[in-house]
A and B are shown apart, each in its own frame.
Chain A
Amino acid sequence: MWGIFLESVVIFQNYMGFHENGYLAGLYLFALLYLWLTEKDKGRRAVLVYAPTLLLVMFFCPLFRKVFVRLLEDSETYYRLLWLLQMSVVTAYGLIRLCGRHRRIGLAVICIAIVACGNYVYDSENITKAENAYHLPQVAIDIVDLIEPEEGRITVLVPADLIYFVRQYSTNIELPYGREMLIARWDYYHAMYEAMEEADMIEAASFTELAREYPCAYIVLKEDRQIDEPLTDYGYELCDRVGEYLIYRDTQTE
């Protein structure tokens, strides 16, 4: 039970970003404590003080965590229990109450505290300038536009960094494997993925044989991907080049 409790503590710490000096949880707990001491309205106490406190206690309760994980068969989403606390609403309410009549100074101080304790979402490395209305990399769109058939579907082998995007643009492109191969903890095995991504150097003979089993009408490779023999020796033609990607068409696949 102690171990489960400690796991919950780690989940809480990770959620609140303690390891990256995110201290918004401190603001929240301070506001919650302040409301515990000063909120007189019974209804608001029930909704904004008692219920979140009870939920917080449940979050750390090992027995509750065991039941949650058993019922939902999922321990990875336990952190979502913390969404129920609605920390921002409770913190904003508590701090506005604390500032009382000093509204403007209070607003400035609270904003500074939020900036200091928080982390600016648009600094995230996952947020980049959009290249098009789809919000997908333009190179993925250009490649699909080149190879997409007018009718029907084709299977295409693409490098890992394009896997997320190709089917967001067109579902007429099928893949031998998808995103499931890129999540290490899911621990899937796929021979084609091993040959394409894991091998230091692609062995053209076995690689093309494997690709034809699907059959892959096109193979997209990064230009710097090492390969022992050119694919053109195995019935493929280099039909185009988009950015750093080379597009090979299998002349033996209809």
Chain B
Amino acid sequence: MISLLFWLVVIPYCIGLIPTRLISEHKRNPGFTILAGYFVMWAIFELVAVPAVLLVQYHNFRTASGWFAALSILCAAAGAGSALVPHMRAAGRTGAEQARRGIWRREAMYVRKRVAGVPEALRAMPWAERIEWLLFLGLLGFQLYKAAAYASFDGDDAYYVVESLLAQQADVMYRILPYSGGPTKPDVRHALAVFPMWVAFIAARSGIHATIVSHLLLPFVLIPLTYLVYYEIGRQLFGRMETGGVFCRENLPIFMILMAMFQMFGNVSIYTNETFFLTRTWQGKSVAGSLVIPALFWIFLQIYEGGEPGNRVGAGVWMLFVCVNMAAGICSSIAVFLISMLTAVTAFCLAVVRRRLGILLKMGAACIPNVIYMAVYVVTAYSYLWR
């Protein structure tokens, strides 16, 4: 349990402090931090796991896990450190001892202020809005209950979940046929999408069977994370402080209720991202459709608003953008192609409405990891031609 909390909450949160420090102060919030932390963490995982899959033949899971654990802890330490640096600087003139006291006093005050602010904000909230938030939380709770108490059969689990389990039990990534168990070479289409290996990493560190992690535990992480992305999108769309207007914050819980309803009733076919979200939550392609693509919408809205006078896009948002692109790569190879297309189309539209070519260039630069990913894909897939 402690290990799960460490790898699923503490590490992503601390890593997320790095991009959080790079955005303007009024935009910082714990939601941004944890989401950014997950995307940066998955980007790190891609950097470590893909070379291990392609280049290391024996015990490649152990190699990837070791490097990933070390890099994650380093980044988390850097994130936690970056949160303290401003205080250190401010207090640097008054001596080390005072500096230490100053840091902790200020951190304690910050936490106390945030905690004290919650009941105050709740008291200020109209009754109707409170009920709407309760309704949303009820729907979220219901989805989590269903995820835990009900099993969803999907044939693809015979591939993805078994790959995770093979990594945990046999210490290999993509070198054993998941369906039957014979030896094989990495199949490039699946081998570059290393999300099942991240699942295996969580399973190995927590000592819990990878199938239980996939089917039972991951929904408790991925479903709330997805709603956190929707919450951030909602804040962008309905974040104005005015009361009664269309874009007022009072519409935020309504937006969240509607999103939850769409997820529950979006099963009009087996293909929709809503169906994937609640029936195959733990699979990389579901994460791509339900978490990564909406996260891009959230980033696009931030980038546009950053173009408004006095509302600069922080380096943290661009860093997040790059990491979301990389996270798509661990989810699914096709997702890389899809989000590159989404970025190209949206960048084009934003450049036209803003009449600024710069947006197109910046967003293009953020997609460089996708280009590298696709190059690795092509080189690996067609390597037999020059052997």
Contacts and interface: CB of A to CB of B under 8 A. Distances in A.
Interface of A: 14-17, 20, 22, 24-25, 42-48, 50-51, 54-55, 58, 71-72, 74, 77, 79-84, 86-89, 91-93, 95-97, 100-101, 103-104, 106-107, 110-111, 114-115, 117-124, 126-131, 133-136, 153, 155, 163-164, 167-180, 182-183
Interface in B319-365: 334-335, 337-339, 341-342, 345-346, 348-350, 352-354
Contacts of B165: 167-168, 171
Contact of A47 (B149, B274, B297): B297
Given A54-B349, A81-B338, A88-B259, A121 B269 contact: no
Interface in B232-263: 233, 237-238, 244-246, 250-251, 254-255, 257-259, 261-263
Nearest to A92: B258
Contacts of B246: 96-97, 100-101
B119 interface: no
Contact of B274 (A14, A88, A96): A88
B379 interface: no
Contacts of B180: 174-178
A103 B250 contact: yes
B41 to A, nearest CB: 23
A218 B254 CA distance: 57
A179 B179 contact: yes
Contacts of B215: 133-135
A60 B353 CA distance: 24
Contacts of A180: 179
Contacts, number: 264
A15 B271 contact: yes
Given A86-B293, A96-B258, A134-B212, A119 B155 contact: no
28 contacts: A16-B268, A22-B268, A25-B268, A47-B349, A51-B349, A54-B345, A58-B341, A74-B334, A86-B273, A86-B294, A88-B274, A89-B259, A91-B262, A101-B246, A103-B251, A107-B257, A119-B265, A119-B268, A121-B267, A123-B267, A124-B267, A134-B209, A135-B151, A155-B181, A164-B157, A171-B162, A178-B179, A182-B155
A95 B301 CA distance: 19
A80 B338 contact: yes
B207 to A, nearest CB: 14
Nearest to A104: B128
**Interface residue SS majority, chain A:** helix
A169 B350 contact: no
Nearest to A68: B337
A51 B348 CA distance: 9
A196 to B, nearest CB: 14
B279 interface: yes
Interface residues of B, number: 88
Nearest to B217: A133
Judged by DSSP, the binding face of B is helix
B274 A95 contact: no
A74 to B, nearest CB: 7
A117 B264 CA distance: 12
A134 B149 CA distance: 11
A81 B337 CA distance: 10
B104 interface: no
A72 B341 CA distance: 13
Interface in B137-181: 146, 148-155, 157-159, 161-162, 165-166, 169-170, 176-181
A131 B151 contact: yes
Contacts of B352: 46, 50
Contacts of A183: 155
B244 A101 contact: yes
A210 B154 CA distance: 30
Of B169, B269, B300, B341, the most chain A CB neighbours within 10 A belong to B269
B170 A133 contact: no
B216 A135 contact: yes
Contacts of A55: 341-342, 345
Interface in B74-104: none
Contacts of A111: 257-258, 261
